[in-house]
């Protein structure tokens, strides 16, 4: 898996795939540890479908990055994705921001 990324100093922003489900979750989980930064923002705005396996992958990625001494934050202005995070209460386990810049700034 190769996802679009942006670098802001020590922070890397990863734009998640259009679909984050059982077909993509394993590759997504394996991709994030290959990044050269440990401060990671996952931008869900381009993700149009996320299922339970995709949600679990977000938590796995967070755990893996934390175990490596880093931190993960999530950003989405997409109302549907935000609602999914709220309904599943993942917004209480992940730091969720409205936009990429706010998430990047939160690392400082």
Write down the domain spans for the chain. 5-105
**Residues 4-57: pLDDT tens digits?**
999 999 999 999 999 999 999 999 999 999 998 999 999 999 999 999 999 999
3-state SS of the chain? CCCCEEEECCEEEEECCCEECHHHHHHHHHHHHHCCCCEEEEECCCCCEECHHHHHHHHHHHHHHHHCCCEEEEECCCHHHHHHHHHCCHHHCCEEECCHHHHHHCCC
Q: Give me the architecture of the 5-105 domain, per CATH.
A: 2-Layer Sandwich (3.30)
pLDDT of residue 94: 96
Q: CB-based burial of residue 24 (10 Å sphere; 0-12 exposed, 13-18 middle, 19+ buried)?
A: buried
């Amino acid at each position: 898996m190769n996802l679009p990324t942006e670098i802001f100093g020590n922070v890397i922003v990863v734009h998640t795939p259009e679909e984050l489900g059982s077909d993509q979750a394993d590759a997504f989980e394996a991709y994030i540890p290959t990044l050269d930064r440990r401060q990671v923002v996952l931008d869900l705005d381009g993700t149009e479908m996320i299922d339970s396996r995709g949600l679990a992958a977000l938590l796995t990625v967070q755990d893996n990055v934390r175990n490596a001494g880093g931190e993960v934050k999530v950003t989405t202005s997409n109302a549907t994705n935000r609602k999914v995070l709220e309904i599943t209460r993942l917004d209480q386990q992940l730091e969720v921001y409205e936009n990429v810049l706010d998430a990047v700034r939160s690392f400082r």
